[in-house]
Amino acid sequence: MLDLTAMRSIRSADADTGVVHADAGATVEDAWRAMLPRGWWLPVAPGTMRPTLGGAVAMNVHGKNHFAAGGFGEHVLALEVATTDGRVVEVAPGHPDFRAFTGGMGLLGLVTGVRLKMKRVHSGRLAVEGVECPSLGGMIADMERRAPDADYLVGWVDAFHPAGRGILHAARNLGPGEDPDAAGSFGNGVQELPPRIAGVVPRALASAALGPFASPAGMRWMNRVRYGISWLRGAHAFRDAHVRFTFLLDFVPGWERLYDPGGFIQHQVFVPKARAAELLLSNLARCRAAGIVPWLGVLKKHRDCPSLLAHALDGYSLALDFPVTAANREGLWRLCAEMDEAVADAGGRCYFAKDLTARPEFVARCYPGIPAFREAKRRWDSAGVLTSDLAVRLRIV
# of chain residues touching ligand FAD (CB under 6 A): 21
Contact between 254 and 295 (Cβ < 8 Å) = no
Q: Tell me the C-alpha distance between 342 and 269, whole Å.
A: 10
Residue 216 CA, distance from chain mean position = 25
Contacting residue, 18, 39, 46, 113, with ligand FAD by CB under 6 A:
46
> Strands 119-120, 110-117: parallel, antiparallel or unpaired by DSSP?
unpaired
Residue 348 CA, distance from chain mean position = 17
Q: Tell me the C-alpha distance between 60 and 44, whole Å.
A: 10
Shortest reach from residue 52's CB to ligand FAD, in Å: 3
Options 55-63, 173-181, 206-214, 325-333: segment touching ligand FAD (CB under 6 A): 55-63
Nearer of residues 71 and 124 to ligand FAD, judged by Cβ? 71
Contact status: 164 vs ligand FAD (CB under 6 A): no
Shortest reach from residue 388's CB to ligand FAD, in Å: 5
Q: Tell me the C-alpha distance between 201 and 211, whole Å.
A: 15
Contacting residue, 13, 35, 110, 154, with ligand FAD by CB under 6 A:
110
Contact between 103 and 353 (Cβ < 8 Å) = no
Shortest reach from residue 2's CB to ligand FAD, in Å: 8
Q: Strand order of the sheet with strand 88-91?
A: 10-13, 19-23, 110-117, 76-82, 88-91
For 267, the enclosing helix (H) or strand (E) is: strand 264-272
Nearest 10 degrees: CA dihedral of 24, 30, 34, 40?
90
Contact status: 73 vs ligand FAD (CB under 6 A): no
Contacting residue, 13, 61, 131, 394, with ligand FAD by CB under 6 A:
61
Contacting residue, 4, 116, 154, 219, with ligand FAD by CB under 6 A:
4
Shortest reach from residue 73's CB to ligand FAD, in Å: 11
x/- mask, ligand FAD, residues 165-194, rule CB under 6 A, reads: ------------------------------
- Report the interhelical angle of 136-146 vs 273-290 (nearest 10°): 150
HSE-CB at 146 with a 13 A cutoff on CA atoms is 24
Options 105-113, 184-192, 270-278, 324-332: segment touching ligand FAD (CB under 6 A): 105-113
Shortest reach from residue 362's CB to ligand FAD, in Å: 19
Contact status: 58 vs ligand FAD (CB under 6 A): yes
What residues line the site for ligand FAD (CB under 6 A)? Answer: 4, 24, 46-48, 51-52, 54-56, 58-59, 61-62, 105-106, 110-111, 249, 353, 388
